[in-house]
Structure 1
Amino acid sequence: VGPTVAARLRSLGIHTVGDLLFYFPREHRDYSKLLTIAELPFDEVVTTRGLIWEVKTSRTSSGRTRTVATLSDSTGRLSAVWFNQPYLQKQLSEARGEWLVVTGVKQRFGNKVTFTVRSHELPEKGELLNTGILVPVYSLTEGLPARTMRRLTRWVVDRYAALVPDHLPPTIRQAAGLLPLPEAIAQMHYPANEEMLAAARRRLAFDELFLIQLGMQERRTRWQRELPSGQAFKVDLARIFIEPTPAEREAVQAAATPEAEAQGVQGFRSQAAAGTTLWTSLADQRPFEATLPFRFTAAQRRVLCEILGDLSRSRPMCRLLQGDVGSGKTAVAAAALFVAALNGYQGAIMAPTEILAEQHARSIGTMLAPFGIRTVLLTGGLRPKERALGRAAIESGEAAVVIGTHALIQEDVTFQRLGLVIIDEQHRFGVEQREALRQKGYHPHMLVMTATPIPRTLALTLYGDLDLSVIDQLPPGRQKVITRWRTGARREEAYRLVEQQLAEGRQAFIICPLVDESESLSARAVTAEYERLSREVFPHRRLGLLHGGMKPAEKDAVMRRFRDHELDILVATSVVEVGIDVPNATVMVIEDADRFGLSQLHQFRGRVGRGAHQSYCYVLSADAGPQARERLAIFQEIDDGFKLAEHDLRLRGPGDFIGVRQSGMPELRIADFNDTRLIEEARTLAIRLWESDPYLQRPEHAPLREHLSRFWQAFIPH
C-alpha cells in the first residue's frame, strides 16, 4: 500500500501483515444466495446476477447522477440503478455482454420497477469480494473505503494465512474439535458458508478463553505452588458450629493435604499451634455459632466448610465468595477470622469505603468480642493518635483482627503474623492492591468476597485462578422488597409512600445519579434534589446529603446520623451502593434509574429490607430507551441477584458489568461470555494441560508458551 493508506491502517492499529490477518470483520452480510431475476421479491436486500446489455447515465432534477444498467438472465430483465457514481458508465460499458453480480433492493416507483444497487462485482474481473458471498464488514476509518479494505484483507489471507503457526497442541485441537488456526483465520474473513464461519469463530473464541484460563492457572501456580507453603490452620468444627455433622467433618478433613494432616489436622484435634495460647484461653468457650443471634443457613455452612478445608491446607487459600445482598457473607468471614485467631494468626479485611470498613468493624467486632478477640479499625479518616495506637496494636499482635480501607496497605502498617487476608467488594480493587495486602504476611490465605452476583460463566473467566463458593440462600424470614417501576411523572406516588413510612417511624433513601447539575445531562443532581426535597416536598422532615465528593469525615458523620435515626431521609449518590446497613430504612427511591445497570440497582435495593418491616423500592425513569425499559421491567419482576446478573451480562456486556480492566484481564475480541459450554470446555482443557505440564516446559508446548506470554504480557502484575 502507499503511504496514505498505510497511515489510515495505522490509525486502526494495523502496522503489519499479521495485524491485518487478525483484524477480523465485526459482522458478515449474507449476499451469497443468488436468486434469478424472476424470483426477486420487493423491498428486501437480495443478490442476483445478469448479463450487461445497456448502460446509460443521466442527471436527476435534484442534480444527482443516475446510472442505469439493463441486466438479464434466462428468466427476465432488470434495471439496476446507481446514484452519484458516474465513473460506472465507462466501467460497465466496457463490460457489456459479461455477467454482473448485484446486491440491492427491488422497488416499485409508479409504473416502473428498479433495482437500487448496494454493491456489485464483475466475476470475470477476479474473485467476488463485495457481493455474491458472505461479505465481511470491517470497522473502518475516514478515507479507507470498504472495498479497499476487502481487497487488502483478501490479498493477505490468500498469501499469508497458511503461514501462521498454530500454537495449540494437536491434542487440544482434537479434544475440542477445532479448525487449524490458518484455516480459521481465512474462514473468519471470507467464509465458504455459515457453518464454516461458525467453526472459525468457535476456534478463535476458544483461543482467547483458553489463553485466559492458562494465564489464570499460572497466577494460581505462582500463588500456591511456586512460593513456599503457608500455614495450615488447625480446624475444630466443634468450635465453629453448634452441632457439626459427620458429613461436614469429612468434607473439611478430605480437603486437607497430607502435610496439613501430618501437622494434626486429621481428627480435628483442638490443641493450639506452637506458642499459641489463644485456643484454650478464650473468654468464651462456646462454639462461635452459639454466640450469634441467628443460626447459619445450610448455604453458609456449606461454604464455611469449603473455606475451612482450604484453611486446613498448607497451600494458601485462593477463594472467591459470592453471595447476594443479605445472604450472610459477613458472618462467614467472621468465622474464618475466628479460626485464624485461634491458630495465633492475624486476619485482615480490606473494604473499599470507610463507611463499609467501619460497619464491618462494628459487626465483626461484636461477633468476636465474647471470645476476647480484639478488632482494630484502620482508615485514612482516623485522627493521628488513633491511627498510631491502631498501628501499634497491629505490629505487636495485640490486634488479632484488623479491618480497614486502602490504609491497610500503607508502608507504615506492619503485621506481626498475618495469616488470612479478606478483600470485600473485590472488584473495587485492582490486582496490585490485592497483592499489596497479601505481601503484608508470609503467604497468607486469601478470601475475596463480593455482594455483586457474578454469572458463573463470567466468574470462571475473570476469576479462573480462584476457587468459587456461592451462598445461594437468604436467611429465613427475610421479606421480599416490593419493587415498582414508574415514569418520572408518577413520582408523587413514591413520595406519598415515603411520607407514610416516615409517619410509622421508618426511614428512606432517595438516590440520584449525579453530584452536581450538568448542562449536558438531564439526570437529577443530588445537591439540587436535596435542596428541592428539603424545601418543597419534605420541609417538615430531617434530610441528609451524601455523595462521593464529600470528605470522609463528613460522609461518616452523615451516615452515623442516619444510622442513629437523627435523619429521616438520606439523599445520596451511588456511594450507598454497598455496605450500608440500616434495618429501620424501608423505602428506596431511585431517580433516573435507566442510568444504572441491573446489578447496581439490585445493590441499591439491598439497602432496604434488612429489618422486620415490609420494604419498598421505587425505580423512576422519565426518558428510558427500549433497552432501559426492558432492564427496568426485569428488575421489577426479579429479586434474585444471580438471575439479574445473567440478564445484566446479556444486556450490557462484561465490560460495563464488572470492569474488565480493573480485574487485570485482557479484553476479548471474539469470545462471548454467554457461551457457557465453550468457557467450561476451555477451562477444563487448560487445567488438564497445565497440570500435566506446569509452565508448558515441554518442547512441543513452546509455541503455546510464547503465544501465552505475548497475550498476557501487558496484564500479569509482576
Structure 2
Amino acid sequence: MERDPRAWQDPLARPVTFLPGVGPRRARALESLGIRSIGDLLYHYPFRYEDLRLRRPGEWEDGRRVAVEGTVAGKPRVSRGGRVPVVAVPMDVQGIRIHAVWFRQAYVLERLTRYRRWRLAGRWQAARRSLVVEHMEPVSEGGAGHSVHAGRIVPVYQTSGDLRPKWLRTWIASALKEAEPHLVDPLPWRWRAKLGLMDKAEALREIHFPRDWERLGRARERLVYEECLRFQLPLQCARWRQKSRRAPALRLTRREWEEFLAALPFSPTEGQRRVLRAVAAEIAGHAPMRRLILGDVGSGKTVIAAAALFAAAMSGGQGVLLAPTEILAEQHARTLSGWFAGFSFPVWLLTGGTDRAERTRCFADISAGRPGILVGTHAVLGHVPYSALRVAVCDEQQRFGVVQRMALLRPNESIHLLSMSATPIPRTLAMALFGDVDVSFLPARPETPGRRVTRWLPLEREEEVVLELRQRLSRGERAYVVAPAIGRPGEQPESKKDVLSLFDWFREQLAGFAVGLLHGRMSPGEKERVMRAFAEGAIQALVATTVVEVGVDVPEATMMVIYHAERFGLSQLHQLRGRIGRSGQDAVCFVLTGPLTDIARQRIEAFQAVNDGYLLAKKDLELRGPGDWAGLAQSGWPDFALFDPIRDEIWMRRAKHHAHHLVRSREFWLLPEFASLREGLAVSGEGIH
C-alpha cells in the first residue's frame, strides 16, 4: 500500500494502517467505529476498566476474573469434554498449586514449552482450584514487563465485528508510542499548574493504561476539562457577539395572547404560565432571545415552543421548529396544525421524506415571505430560502451538537432561539453547560388525577401482561410494546428480543384487536401512516423499537410493556415510560426482564421505585461506579466523549468562567500559546478581533 508522504508531517493524521498488525480488512473494521487515523485511536477511550493487578491467592474471588503469575509445575494433561479438547496444566503461583485450564485451545501446549514463567488472566473457580484462562503471555526472566492485557488495570473498549479487545489495546499502545513525541498541549503550562492538571500526553497515557485508580481519575479530569473548555469557547464568543445584535420585536396584544391560550385544548399550569411570561417579555425586546427550557418527561415544553412560534407568525414573520426525528417532527406538525387551525398562517412540514412537489410549494411560500411555521428535521438546516425568519425552536436540544445549533443561527443571528431538553441535569450545571443561553425550568410534571405505576416481572410471567393488555384495549385504551432490537433480515429471530418476532406473537395473542408495527427501517411514509393510525385509534397496540422514546404523544396510551428492560439505560426507560398516562388516566408500565446481573437488578429496582428523571440519573451514576466512564457519549450528547453532567459539574462551571474571560482578553487572540484553542473558533468563524 502506497503511503501519502503528507501523513508524515502530522503523526496523528496518519492512517491506522501505519501501525503493525493493521491491514486493510482490520482498518475497515476500525472505520465502522469511526477510527481512521492514529489520532482517532487515541481518542477512542475505554468505556470501563477491569482491575487485573496481580494479587495474592487469598484475595482471589470465586467466579471473578483475576490475573496471576506462575511457573509450569507439572505435565500438561489433555482430555475431551464431549468433543471439546480441554488442556489442564499444573501451575505454581506463589507457592500455591492450581490448574490452568484452556477449552478448545490445544495449540497452547506448544506455546507452554517455550517459556517457564507465565502471566495468565481468567476466571477463578475456587472449588476446582482452577483458572479458566482467557489470556496468556510469557514473562521474561528480567521481570514482570509492561503488559497491556494483564497484571494491571486493563482498559475495555467498544469493539465492532470481529475486532478483538486485545487488538485494540495493542494498537492503542502503539499509537501512543508513535504520537506522544508530537503531541501539543493546548493548555499553557502555567494554566495547568494553577489548576493542578496533568499535561496532555500523560493524561492520554493514563486514561488508556492507568498505573492506579488515582492517576486514572486525574487523567480523566484533565481531558474532561479540555472538552468543557472547547465546548464553552464558541458559546462565550456567541454570547459576547449577541450583545451587539438586534432582533425583531415580537409584540402581541393581550387579545392575541388570549386567542393563543383559547386555541389550546387544555389550560396551562402555573409553571407553564410563568415560563410563557418570561418568553413573551424576552421576544418583545430587541435583544435576540437565547433561552433553554428544561423540563422532565411530560412537563409540557411544547406549549412554550408553540407560543414563540405563534408570536413569530402573528407578527408577520416565520418560525421554524427543529426536531431530531421524522416521527417527532410529524407529530409536532399535526399538533400545531390542530391548535392553529383557526388562524390564517400555515404549518409546513419538511423532512427527508417530503416529496419534491410539496418541498417546492413550501420553499415558494417561505421565499415569498409568507407568515407561517416550518416544522422539520435536519432538512431545515439546509438550503431553505428563509426570508422572514423570526424564531427558531430546537426540540430535544441534547440530540443536536453545538455545530448544528450554530448552523441554524449563522445566517440568521438576529433571530430568537428557544431550545428544549428533557435531559435530567441539575440547575447549577445547566447554567454553566449552556453558557450562551438563559435557562428556564418547568416543574417535573403537571398534576393529573390518574396514577402511573411501574411493575417488574420476569419474562416467564408475560401471560399476566397479555391479560392486562386485553382488558385495557377492550376499554378503548391504547398501549405500546417495546423491543430492544429490530431483527436482521435473513437471521433467525431472537425470542422476544426483536420487534419483528414480538409483532407476530402479539398479533396472535391479541386476536380481535388492531396491532401495529413501527421501527427505524420503515420508510417515512410508512411510519407516518402507522403513527397516524395509532393516534386516531385504528391501531390499538403498537409494537415498536425505541423510535417512540422521544416526544411521541398519544393521550389515550395507558400501558407500556418493555421487553428485556435490562438492555436499556435508566434514562431511556424513563423516556419510554413518559409516553403513557399523559391524559390523567391510570397507567401502568410493565418491565419484563431475563437473567440479571447484580448491577442490572439494582437499575431495574431503581426504575420501579423512582419516577424523577434527575434522581434516576444520579442513581445511574452511582451504579456505574468509579471504573466506568461511559457518560454522555452513550446518552445522546454528541459533543462529549467523557463529560458526565452530574459527576463533572464543577469542571463545566470552571470552563465557563475561564472561557468567559479568555474571549474578552487580547492575550487569548494574540499569544502563540493559545493558538491551538483558537483554531476551532477560527474554523467555525467564531473568532473575535
TM-score by length of 2: 0.70
1:376–1:399: 8 Å Cα contact kept in structure 2? no
1:484 matched to 2:461: no
Q: Deviations over 1:403-453 (max 9, x none)?
A: 233443453x42221121112233455666545544564542322323454
Q: Deviations over 1:277-309 (max 9, x none)?
A: xx46x9746375466455544543454465456
Q: Deviations over 1:622-669 (max 9, x none)?
A: 345544433322222222122233444654832563234xx2x2523x
More moved, 168-177 vs 204-213: 168-177
2:225–2:652: 8 Å Cα contact kept in structure 1? no
1:516–1:526: 8 Å Cα contact kept in structure 2? yes
Q: Distance in 1 between matches of 2:126 and 2:504?
A: 60
Q: Distance in 2 between matches of 1:623 and 1:492?
A: 18
AA aligned to 1:706 is S
State the partner residue of 1:581. Answer: 553
1:216 matched to 2:193: no
Q: Distance in 2 between matches of 1:348 and 1:145?
A: 47
State the partner residue of 1:615. Answer: 587
AA aligned to 1:571 is V
State the partner residue of 1:512. Answer: 483
More moved, 300-309 vs 571-580: 300-309
Q: Distance in 1 between matches of 2:219 and 2:682?
A: 19
State the partner residue of 1:657. Answer: 634
1:67–1:85: 8 Å Cα contact kept in structure 2? no
Q: Distance in 2 between matches of 1:450 and 1:320?
A: 8
Q: Deviations over 1:154-181 (max 9, x none)?
A: 9999xx99x9876534664455344566
Q: Distance in 2 between matches of 1:212 and 1:147?
A: 23
1:415 matched to 2:386: yes
1:321–1:448: 8 Å Cα contact kept in structure 2? yes
Q: Deviations over 1:23-47 (max 9, x none)?
A: 999677666x9x9xxxx95858899
Q: Distance in 2 between matches of 1:560 and 1:684?
A: 44
1:176 matched to 2:195: yes
Mapping of 1:92-103 within 5 angstroms?
A: none
- Structure 2 counterpart of 1:543, from 515, 531, 553: 515
State the partner residue of 1:571. Answer: 543
Mapping of 1:133-148 within 5 angstroms?
A: 135=152, 137=154
State the partner residue of 2:321. Answer: 349
Structure 1's 659 and 351: CA in aligned 2 closer, same or farther, altered over 3 A? closer
Structure 1's 444 and 179: CA in aligned 2 closer, same or farther, altered over 3 A? same
Mapping of 1:594-673 within 5 angstroms?
A: 594-648=566-620, 651=624, 653-654=630-631, 657-660=634-637, 663=638, 665=639, 667-668=641-642
- Structure 1 counterpart of 2:446, from 475, 481, 484: 475
Q: Distance in 2 between matches of 1:404 and 1:23?
A: 34
Q: Distance in 2 between matches of 1:527 and 1:107?
A: 40
State the partner residue of 2:505. Answer: 532
State the partner residue of 1:703. Answer: 673
- Structure 2 counterpart of 1:327, from 299, 317, 330: 299
More moved, 640-649 vs 516-525: 516-525
1:438–1:444: 8 Å Cα contact kept in structure 2? yes
Q: Distance in 2 between matches of 1:60 and 1:521?
A: 40
Q: Distance in 2 between matches of 1:286 and 1:145?
A: 65
Structure 1's 5 and 136: CA in aligned 2 closer, same or farther, altered over 3 A? farther
2:317–2:372: 8 Å Cα contact kept in structure 1? yes
Secondary structure of the residue aligned to 1:636 is: helix
List runs of 5+ in structure 1 lacking aligned partners. Answer: 50-54, 72-76, 93-100, 111-117, 236-271, 273-278
Secondary structure of the residue aligned to 2:332 is: helix
Q: Distance in 2 between matches of 1:695 and 1:425?
A: 37
Shift of 1:609: 0.4
1:41–1:106: 8 Å Cα contact kept in structure 2? no
Length, aligned pairs only: 621
Mapping of 1:218-257 within 5 angstroms?
A: 218-226=233-241, 229-234=244-249
Shift of 1:714: 10
Q: Distance in 1 between matches of 2:59 and 2:260?
A: 75
AA aligned to 1:705 is A
2:481–2:542: 8 Å Cα contact kept in structure 1? yes
AA aligned to 2:417 is M
Shift of 1:322: 2.6
Question: Greater CA radius of gyration, 1 or 2?
Answer: 1
State the partner residue of 1:7. Answer: 20
Structure 1's 171 and 314: CA in aligned 2 closer, same or farther, altered over 3 A? farther
AA aligned to 2:492 is E
Shift of 1:329: 0.4
AA aligned to 1:359 is Q
Structure 1's 544 and 223: CA in aligned 2 closer, same or farther, altered over 3 A? same
Structure 1's 459 and 487: CA in aligned 2 closer, same or farther, altered over 3 A? farther
Secondary structure of the residue aligned to 1:7 is: coil
List runs of 5+ in structure 2 lacking aligned partners. Answer: 1-16, 79-86, 101-108, 129-135, 158-162
Secondary structure of the residue aligned to 2:391 is: strand
1:377 matched to 2:392: no
AA aligned to 1:617 is C
More moved, 303-312 vs 492-501: 303-312
Secondary structure of the residue aligned to 2:447 is: coil
State the partner residue of 1:300. Answer: 272
Mapping of 1:45-60 within 5 angstroms?
A: 59=75
1:431–1:717: 8 Å Cα contact kept in structure 2? no
Shift of 1:605: 1.9
Shift of 1:495: 1.5
Q: Distance in 1 between matches of 2:429 and 2:653?
A: 14
Structure 1's 415 and 520: CA in aligned 2 closer, same or farther, altered over 3 A? same
1:481–1:614: 8 Å Cα contact kept in structure 2? yes
Structure 1's 684 and 186: CA in aligned 2 closer, same or farther, altered over 3 A? same
Secondary structure of the residue aligned to 1:697 is: helix
Shift of 1:484: 0.9
1:590–1:620: 8 Å Cα contact kept in structure 2? yes
AA aligned to 1:418 is L
Shift of 1:347: 1.2
Give % identity: 32
1:318–1:447: 8 Å Cα contact kept in structure 2? yes
1:496 matched to 2:470: no
State the partner residue of 1:424. Answer: 395
Structure 1's 694 and 553: CA in aligned 2 closer, same or farther, altered over 3 A? farther
State the partner residue of 1:248. Answer: none
Secondary structure of the residue aligned to 1:706 is: helix
Q: Distance in 2 between matches of 1:317 and 1:346?
A: 15
Q: Distance in 2 between matches of 1:605 and 1:219?
A: 36
Q: Deviations over 1:180-204 (max 9, x none)?
A: 668878988999x96xx62x44543
State the partner residue of 2:662. Answer: 690
TM-score by length of 1: 0.68
AA aligned to 1:511 is V
1:42–1:107: 8 Å Cα contact kept in structure 2? no
State the partner residue of 2:416. Answer: 445
Secondary structure of the residue aligned to 2:20 is: helix
State the partner residue of 1:269. Answer: none
Structure 1's 400 and 634: CA in aligned 2 closer, same or farther, altered over 3 A? same
Q: Distance in 2 between matches of 1:646 and 1:655?
A: 13
Q: Distance in 1 between matches of 2:361 and 2:36?
A: 57
